[in-house]
Chains A and B, each alone.
Chain A
Amino acid sequence: MNTPATLLSVRNLTMRFGGLTAIDDLSLEVPAGRITGIIGPNGAGKTTLFNCLTGFYKPTTGTLRLAHPRRGEMRLEALPSHRVARDAQVVRTFQNIRLFPKMTVLENLIVAQHNVLQRASKFSIAGLFTLPGYREAERQAIERAAMWLARLKLTHLADNAAGDLPYGIQRRIEIARALCVDPVLLCLDEPAAGLNPRESAELNELLLYLCGELGIAILLIEHDMSVVMNVSDHIGVISYGRKIAEGTPAQVKHDPQVIKAYLGEDEEEDVKGGAAA
C-alpha cells in the first residue's frame, strides 16, 4: 500500500480560551481517502479541534491547510464557517445531534444542498417562478437526497419531522445530511454514541463503504473502541490538548502513554474539564 497524499495538515494548532489551553501545539496529518481516528479522554480537546476545523472557533495560533482535490490549497482557519462547508467541502456532525427538528428528513437533506439550488435559482428569482433550470437542479437535489436515504435505509422516513424520530435514526439522518454536502472531509463527532451493538456494526460498515468506495476522507472522534479500532487506518491520541501518540490501531493500543492517559494517574482527574464542551 502506497502512502496516500495528505488531505488536511494541522500545524502547531493552539486554541486558548482565556487562561485555559484547550489545544496545545497540536500537529496532525489527515490522509486523503482514509479513516483517521481521534481518541482521548473526556475534555482532551477533540471537539475543540473540530470546532477549529469548521470555522466555529478561530484558532489562537497555528494553521489548518486543506489540499482540496479540485480547488487547490485552502486555509480553513481563515474561512467563515459557511464557506468551510460550501467551498472547502468539510462538514461535521455533532456529538449531540443537531438536525432541524421541525423539518422533514428530506428537507434536512435538501438544506445541505442549498448552495447548488440557490445558484440554480439565481438567488430566488428563478426559484420564485420555478424556471426549468431551477426545477432540474431541484430534481437532482431530491435525487441525491433519495440516494443517501436509500443507502442509509431511511427512505420510508423521508417525510417525517426529523425531531420526532428515535435517536439512532437521527444519527443516521445527520450523517446522510452531511453526505449531501458532497464532502471531501467528513468529520464525525462520536457517531456511535447511543447506538446499540448492531447499529454500531452497521455504522462500521457504512464508514468503510464511504471511505473505500467513495474515497471520502473521514476524521472520526469516537469513544466506542469497537468502532475506532476496527475502521481506522490511523489513530491520533490527544490528551490535555496535546498529541501523545499516533499510529496504527495496533500500535496505539499498546502505547504506554495512551494506557496511562486512559487509565489515569491519581491527581489529574479534574484539571481540564470543560474544554471540549
Chain B
Amino acid sequence: MAYALQQLINGLTLGAMYGLIAIGYTMVYGIIGMINFAHGDIFMVSAFIAVTAFTILAAADVTSIPLALTFVLIVSIFFTSAYGWAVERTAYRPLRGSTRLAPLISAIGMSIFLQNSVQLTQGARVKPIPPVLEGGIVLWDAPGFTVQIGWSQMLIIVTTVILMTAFTWMITQTPFGRQQRACEQDRTMASLLGVNVDRTISFTFMLGAALAAVAGVMVTVYYGVVDFFIGFLAGIKAFTAAVLGGIGSLPGAMLGGLLIGLIESFWAAYLWAEYKDVATFGILCLVLMLRPSGLLGRPEVEKV
C-alpha cells in the first residue's frame, strides 16, 4: 500500500512533465495539422539553457533557492520560446501550403539538427548540476517503507497545476485564445475576419516551447542531469500522451500525460523496470488501433 502510494506520487510527477510537453504537440497539431517532431528537442534545449543558467547562478554565488528557480525559469522560457519561434519560421512556414509530408520531414530534420548542434557545442557527456532542491516531507512512515514526497516533486506538481489553470484560462478567455481557437477551426475564415494567422501560429509555437521550457527546468531540478539525447524519448512519450488523450485536445494532452506517467511508474515498480518504455509504446499502438481519436478527442467526421 505504502509502496503503491509512493508510485502514485512518482507517476504524477512524471506525468505532469509529459503533460507539459504534450500540450506543445497537441496545440501545434490543432492549428496546422502537423506533428512537430522537433518539439522533444526544444524541450532538451530548454534543459540545457536551465543548466547554463544554474551554472551562472552558482558562479554568481546566488544561494536563495526561490530566487534561483525564478531566474532559471524566466531565462529558460525566454530563450526556448525564441527557439520555438525560430524553428517555425525557418523550418515550417516556408513549407506551408505544400504537401502534408513536407513539414513532417522538415521537423525530423530540425530534430536531428538540434540534437547534433547541442552535442557539438555542449559535448556528448551527461551534464550534472549540483542538487537544487533536496529532501522532502515524509507522508507516511509505514513499517518497512517510507512514503516521501520530495520538494522537487511538489514543485513540479504545483507548477503544473498553476500553469494548466492559467493556460486554460488564456485559451478560453483572452483575445489570443479566441484567435488561436478560430485559426484551429478555420484558418482561412479567421484570416478573412482580420486575424493575422501567421502571427497566431508563431505564438502557438512559442507558447508550446514555453511550456516545454518549464518541463525542461523541472527535469533538470528533478534528475540533476541532462544530455543531448533526452529530448528524443521524452518527446516520443509526450507525443504518445497527446495521442492517448486525443491529439488536438488540450485537456486530453494533460490527461494523457498523467496516464502515461502513472502507467510507466507502476509498470516499472511492479512488472519489469527495464521494459517500461515498451509499456508506453504498447499503449501508443493500442490507442492507434482501437481508438485513434484518443480518450477526449472527437472522431474526425468526413465533411461532404
Hey, which bits of chain A sit against chain B, CB under 8 A? 54, 56, 80-86, 91-92, 94, 98-103, 107, 110-112, 114-115, 117-118, 121, 123-124, 127-128, 177-178, 181
- A113: shortest Cβ distance to chain B, in Å? 9
Contacts of A82 in B (CB 8 A): 191-192, 194-197
Partner of A111, one of B170, B188, B193: B193
Query: Within the assembled complex, what's the spacing in Å between the Cα atoms of A99 and B190?
Result: 9
- B77: shortest Cβ distance to chain A, in Å? 15
Stretch of B149-157, B173-181, B284-292 lying at the A interface: B173-181
Partner of B185, one of A54, A102, A112, A117: A102
Are A107 and B186 touching (Cβ within 8 A)?
no
13 pairs, A vs B, C-beta closer than 8 Å: A81-B191, A82-B192, A82-B197, A83-B194, A85-B194, A100-B186, A103-B182, A114-B178, A121-B176, A127-B175, A128-B170, A128-B174, A181-B193
Contacts of B186 in A (CB 8 A): 98-100
Are B189 and A114 touching (Cβ within 8 A)?
no
Contacts of A54 in B (CB 8 A): 192
Partner of A85, one of B170, B178, B193: B193
Are A127 and B176 touching (Cβ within 8 A)?
yes
- A116: shortest Cβ distance to chain B, in Å? 9
Given contacts A117-B175, A118-B175, A127-B175, contact A111 B190 (CB under 8 A): yes
Hey, which bits of chain B sit against chain A, CB under 8 A? 170, 174-176, 178-179, 181-182, 185-186, 188-197
Are B197 and A114 touching (Cβ within 8 A)?
no
Are A124 and B182 touching (Cβ within 8 A)?
no
- A157: shortest Cβ distance to chain B, in Å? 18
Are A121 and B189 touching (Cβ within 8 A)?
no
Query: Within the assembled complex, what's the spacing in Å between the Cα atoms of A99 and B170?
Result: 22
Are B174 and A91 touching (Cβ within 8 A)?
no
Are A102 and B181 touching (Cβ within 8 A)?
yes
Contacts of B182 in A (CB 8 A): 100, 103, 111, 114
- B207: shortest Cβ distance to chain A, in Å? 10
Are A111 and B179 touching (Cβ within 8 A)?
yes
- A173: shortest Cβ distance to chain B, in Å? 12
Are A107 and B178 touching (Cβ within 8 A)?
yes
Query: Within the assembled complex, what's the spacing in Å between the Cα atoms of A114 and B199?
Result: 14
Contacts of A86 in B (CB 8 A): 194
Contacts of B175 in A (CB 8 A): 114, 117-118, 121, 124, 127
Query: Within the assembled complex, what's the spacing in Å between the Cα atoms of A82 and B176?
Result: 15
Closest to A117 in B: B175
Contacts of B174 in A (CB 8 A): 121, 124, 127-128
Query: Within the assembled complex, what's the spacing in Å between the Cα atoms of A86 and B174?
Result: 19
- A131: shortest Cβ distance to chain B, in Å? 12
Query: Within the assembled complex, what's the spacing in Å between the Cα atoms of A110 and B176?
Result: 12
- A7: shortest Cβ distance to chain B, in Å? 19
Closest to B199 in A: A82
Contacts of A101 in B (CB 8 A): 185
Are B179 and A114 touching (Cβ within 8 A)?
yes
